Every structure is written in C-alpha cells, then in structure tokens.
Chains A and B, each alone.
Chain A
Amino acid sequence: MTAAIPAQAPAGDPQSAAPTAVPLLEVSGLTKHFPIGGGLLRRKAGAVQAVDDVSFSVGAGESFGLVGESGCGKSTTGRLVARLLEPSGGTIRYDGRDITHASRRQLAPLRSQIQVVFQDPYSSLNPRHTVGTIISGPMKVNGIDPPGGHRKRVQELLEIVGLNPEHYNRFPHEFSGGQRQRIGIARALAVEPRLVVADEPVSALDVSIQAQVVNLLKELQRDLGIAFVFIAHDLAVVRHFCERVAVMYLGKVVEVADRASLYTNPHHPYTHALLSAVPGERGADGARRPRVRLTGDLPSPANPPSGCRFRTRCPKAQAVCAEQEPPLVRLGAAPAPDVACHFPAPPDPTAAAGPVAAVPAGAAAP
C-alpha cells in the first residue's frame, strides 16, 4: 500500500486547511514502547509505553496542537512523526504515503517536506557552526541550490525570521534564546517544508519572547501555508496558535477538538482539569470554571493503570473505567470533538456554534 495513493492536497494552499480535506499527515494507532533493559544479561524487563495507540490527522496548512503535561508522550509523538524515532506500531502516512518504517534513503525525497523546530534553542544549534552554515545545512543535504546561491537564500531567511542578515557569520552563542529559536526556525524553513513539527518551540524562552516567536510562527503558517504539529504544555500558547487541539494523557489521546469547542466546552475530565488549572480561564458562559483539582501523581508509563489510564486521578471514575478502556469516539456530528471517556461531559450546542475569532489574539502573551 506504499506510495500507491497520489498526493491530493495541493502544496502550500492554506484554503485546504479544513480537517475534512485529505490529510497531509495521517497517524493511526501510533505506538512507541521503549524497552527497559535490566540486569547483567540485558534481558528485557518491561517497556515504557510512551505513546500508545495515538491517532490524529493534520490537513495541509493546518495547525494542530498537541498538549498534555510533562511525560505524556507528546514530544515522542512529534519525534515519531518526524521519523526521528522508529515506531513500535501503527502507521504514519504523509501525503498518502506510508512512511512508518521508511529507511533514510526512502525518506530522502520527503525529508525536505517535514522539518522540526526543537525545544531547547541552546542545544539545537551546533555551537561550532556559524549561523550561515547551520541554516544552509538542510539545503545542502537535500541538494537544493537556490537561485543566487546559498548565502543569499540564508540572508533572505534571516530577514524572514526577523534577524539581521549581516549576522550570517556569527556563532550561536552570540545570540539570545529568542534569536537562537529564530535561527532554528530559519533552518526549518530553508527547505520550504509543508509540515513543521514544533516541539515546545517557546517553552524554553522568556515569557516576553514567547509571544514574538509564536506570532512569527503564526505569520509563517499563514503566509507560507505550512502545516504545523505544535507541541506545547502551555494552553494559552496552543489556543493562540492552533486550529485543532489534541489532549494527551499518559501516552494516549483523550480528546481531539476544535479550538473553540475545546476551550469553551471540554468534554474529557482531564481536559476540564487542565483548563481549570489556567488562571483566569473562563467557560462558555463566561463564568469562572469550578476548580478541578487532580490528586495523586502521574502513574508510571511503564505500568499504566488498567482500563482508562486517567481513572486513578479522575473525579468521575467508576468501576467500568478500570475494566474497559474507552475508545476515542466522536460525540455527535462532524464538528463535534473526539473524546475517549466513558462519561464525557454533555455536548453543549452553544459552544460548537461559537465563532473561532472570539478567541482574543493576545491570548498567547500572558
């Protein structure tokens, strides 16, 4: 079934962003287990189920958010999608092609289309290379020869991300965290990708810089029609940036919904708890959300709870939650969210109709 389906979504067309279009990226049942080696004889003692049966799809030009607390597997999912890690199960289809277990050579033509922006701007740039070498690296690897030469293109890119083109010959340590992250973004843009996996691109930055970088990414997404898988733990940033959001808990997706629906009317109790933990966050009716306090610790992903993984901390948990794992199902018609819960909050008709533009643009700048 590899490569049989031709590319259908036109490249760089932001109009095809509707989730109903043929997705640019389709992930189904994606699983990653890290074996726990133990003892002198290196026997396999178990596995950390970092990502377990995760499915979602991202349309061309769409920005898709992946949120959850630390250790829930969102970064691993991002790395799997970028094929920096080998999946243990499931399929990843990019543009109709199965790339789940594609080798480096098989991936070569797609490498320039999927790029990654990393979390830590201090370790994502090679300290021994100049900015020019760093940004032109992906172009050289992929055999891209821009008109006017690499240097000219790099300087264009530096200007696009808001840096001085004359900084071509500087080293990364001469820049601040925000500037370094801009360099990382320029590197990802150098090969004109169609999909960028942004792995917590702003969480290592000062709050005052976060908004600038998020706005830069948003501009790029709008102007260049790049699809984003945006990984973050900051709900406000995700709300500002993403059209659709998936909430992850302990390696599972618990809820996928449109931005408006997720933030105003969450259905999964975990989403509810996450949102109620944001100071000043208000529900659909404009009233303060009742605070949902989660008790206990995040269970170990090496030994997750039976049934629903959230049941150990869930205020709604009942006997059935320990026995049966709730599947991720759609609540109602197309715009309704997908929720994996035995007792989802009832759908709220007013929330689904709410305009997306109602989200204040400054939401990302706390």
Chain B
Amino acid sequence: MSLSSPTAEAPSSASATDGSPAAAPAPGPPAGLTPMRLAWRRFRRDKAGVAAGSVVLLFFVAGLGAPLFAKLYGKDPYTTYGQNEPGLLNDYGYPIAPNGGISGEYWLGIEPGLGRDVLTQLLYGIRTSLLISLAVVAIVTVLGVVVGVTAGYLGGRTDYLAGRVIDVMLSFPSTLFFIAFTPVVTSLLTSPGEEMSPLLRGSILVMVLSAFGWAGVARLLRGQVLSLRSREFVEAARASGSPPHRIIFHELLPNLWTPILVTASLAVPAYVTTEAALSYLGVGMVEPTPDWGRMLLKGAEVYQTDITYMFVPGISMLIFVVAFNLLGDSIRDALDPKTDR
C-alpha cells in the first residue's frame, strides 16, 4: 500500500484552536485511505482473525476444489471400495487397518459397512453444508434486513404488524416444525415413488430454514434502526432534504453493517450445524449425497468399534465453527473505525 501522504501526522494547526484534539492516536491513520482499506489494514493486524480467516478460506477452497482433488487423489465419494476390494473390511464390515482404515491409499480411512472413501466424502460434504448454509444465510439476511429496517424506519402500524409476525416466528418450535414439515413439502413436490434429486432436497432445506431464520435478523435490525433513527445525524440528513431511500442506504445501512456481518458470520456455522442436525435426524440430505450430518449419523451407529469415523466429520465441523466465529469477531473489530490496534 502506498501511503506516502505527508498528512499522516496527528491533527495539527487548526485543532490547536480547540485545545488538544480528541484522543487522536499518536501514529494516526494516514489520511487518503478509503474506509474499506482502513478496515482491511485493521484486519491484517489482527493475528487471530487472519488465522481464522485462513482456516475458513481453506475450507472454502477444499469445498470448491473437491472434484479436482478427488481426481488427483483417484477416489470418489460414491464408490464402495471396501466391498469391491477384498482385504479392506472384515467380516463384520469394519475396516481391517487400524484407526478406521487410515492408510497411504485411504488417507482418512474407509467408511464401515459400505466401504466408501472418507476423505472425499468429507470434502464433498463441505460443499453440501456450505452451499446450503450460505444460501440460507443470504436469504435470511436479505429478508431480515428488508423487514427489520423497513419496520424500524417507518414505525407505527407497519412496525407493529411486523413485530407481531416476528414474535410468532420466533416463538414457533422450529426444529419440530422442520422435522414435521420437511416430509410434507417433499411429498408435495415429488410424485410418490419418485427419487428426489439432491438439488431439490437441498432447496427444500434452504426454504424451510429460511422461513424461520429471518425473524431473528429482522428483530435485531429493527432495534438497531430504532436507536439510530432518533440520532441527530438522521435528522440532519432529513433537514438537507434526503429522500428516505438515501437515509436508509446512506445513513443507516453503514451503521448496520456491523450487526449484519456479525449475525451473518455467526449464522453460517449455526446453519452448518442445523443442516447437519436435520440430516442426522433423517430429514435433511439422504444417501448417497455426501454430507457431514449424515456422516455423523453413521458415526453414531459405529462409534463403539470405529470411533475414527465419527471423529473425522466431528473435528472438521468443530474447527470450521470455531474459525468462522473468530472470523466474524475480527470482521466486526475491523469494520469499527473506533478500534485501533
């Protein structure tokens, strides 16, 4: 970054008229940088954030590059290697090699029973989990922001109505609803006996999860907008004749990025686990689609004999959730112009 600007000193000359300037940091952020670049600088100084970001990035790369990796590695997540090749599974269907069958050939072992490759299942599972959770988070955030900001800014009857709808949504037992409702939607969208494509199944999951998720985001943003709306800078914008859309997008939204980004970045790992939970409960993704929740379900069946198979998706998910939460925290810090590290 080229910051040869000579204005990088602490406030000088004019500020002397008002006595000492406010807690202006001694090195002072160099003038001439856009807010986004300042945020990026702050983020880069945050070691935990950079580390968490790298881990998250690794997961994204692994998910995106799963087919390529599978090609180089020479396995796919569907072939039942254990059943095709003798010497991998014993008579009871468990891997013969120690630690769940980890070997030079099968880096994370093979699945008990069917004998599929664990590593490719894990990588393809990232795709399923991330795709679904990112889609849900995108829909939930957009819906929640629109409803919350509108209700908060307009107030009055709109706010009251939106508030009651949110109340109902939040008090709904959503997990029970998912379990009860997903088969209903499934049967509505497919004719009996027809196999459902994984894409359609994923879309149904996204729809059901989004239908309840937006309420929390909307409530949070409504509250934020209510507190911002009465601030004098909004009145100043109105006094200069700003139309409502400019006030919302130009004055309010920049102050809402922090809560939006924080909730979104916390929601991604939450939906990854929710999706896994639904798959675990049998209403999410089903065989043979690779999925972490489904792997955990299988792991729970075999953990007494083959604990490795449960550890692989479990530890992966733990690392992903922790890293994503830390990243969300760092993004919040970086976007706040008041944090100076």
Residues of chain A at the chain B interface (Cβ within 8 Å) = 79, 82, 84, 104, 107-108, 111-112, 114-116, 118-120, 123-130, 134, 137-138, 141-142, 158, 162-164, 166-171, 173-179, 182, 184, 187, 191, 206, 208-209, 212
Contacts and interface: CB of A to CB of B under 8 A. Distances in A.
B2 interface: no
24 contacts: A82-B239, A116-B239, A119-B232, A123-B232, A124-B232, A124-B235, A127-B255, A128-B337, A137-B242, A141-B241, A162-B17, A164-B12, A164-B13, A164-B15, A167-B11, A170-B29, A171-B337, A173-B22, A173-B338, A174-B11, A175-B24, A176-B19, A179-B18, A212-B18
B24 A174 contact: yes
Interface string B92-119: 0000000000000000000000000000
B253 to A, nearest CB: 9
Nearest to B8: A166
A128 B35 contact: yes
B241 to A, nearest CB: 3
A76 to B, nearest CB: 13
B243 interface: yes
Contacts, number: 123
B240 A208 contact: no
Nearest to A178: B18
Most chain B CB inside 10 Å of its own CB: which residue of A84, A138, A170, A174: A174
Contacts of A178: 18-19
B20 interface: yes
Given A126-B251, A129-B254, A175-B22, A115 B239 contact: yes
B240 A138 contact: yes
A123 B233 CA distance: 6
Nearest to A79: B235
B139 interface: no
A34 to B, nearest CB: 14
B281 interface: no
A84 B22 contact: no
B158 to A, nearest CB: 14
A114 B32 contact: no
A187 B19 contact: no
Given A170-B31, A176-B18, A142 B241 contact: yes
Contacts of A120: 232
Interface residues of B, number: 38
Most chain B CB inside 10 Å of its own CB: which residue of A118, A123, A141, A166: A166
B248 to A, nearest CB: 13
Contacts of A108: 241
Contact of B232 (A107, A112, A118, A158): A118
Interface of B: 7, 11-15, 17-22, 24, 29, 31-33, 35, 231-233, 235-243, 246, 250-251, 254-255, 257, 337-338
Given A115-B239, A127-B255, A137-B237, A208 B7 contact: no
B15 A179 contact: yes
A176 B246 contact: no
Contacts of A116: 235-236, 239
A11 B245 CA distance: 32
A213 to B, nearest CB: 9
Contacts of B233: 123-126, 134
B75 to A, nearest CB: 49
Nearest to B240: A138
Contact of B240 (A129, A176, A182, A191): A191
B232 A111 contact: no
Contacts of A158: 14
Given A126-B233, A141-B240, A163-B14, A174 B19 contact: no
Given A116-B236, A175-B22, A104 B17 contact: no
Given A120-B232, A130-B35, A164-B12, A176 B20 contact: yes
Given A126-B251, A128-B337, A174-B22, A104 B15 contact: no
A163 B24 CA distance: 15
B25 to A, nearest CB: 8
A82 B18 CA distance: 29
Given A130-B35, A174-B22, A107 B241 contact: yes
Nearest to A167: B11
Given A114-B239, A118-B232, A138-B240, A174 B21 contact: yes
Most chain A CB inside 10 Å of its own CB: which residue of B33, B241, B337: B241
Given A123-B232, A124-B232, A164-B12, A173 B337 contact: yes
Contact of A184 (B18, B21, B236, B241): B236
A169 B239 contact: no
Contacts of A142: 240-241
Contacts of A209: 18-19
B57 to A, nearest CB: 27
A177 to B, nearest CB: 8
A164 B14 contact: yes
B1 to A, nearest CB: 14
Contacts of B14: 158, 162-164, 167
Contacts of A212: 17-18
Contacts of B254: 126, 128-129
B338 to A, nearest CB: 5
A79 B234 CA distance: 13
A166 B7 contact: yes
Given A124-B232, A169-B31, A174-B21, 6 more contacts: A108-B241, A112-B240, A118-B235, A169-B32, A175-B21, A176-B21
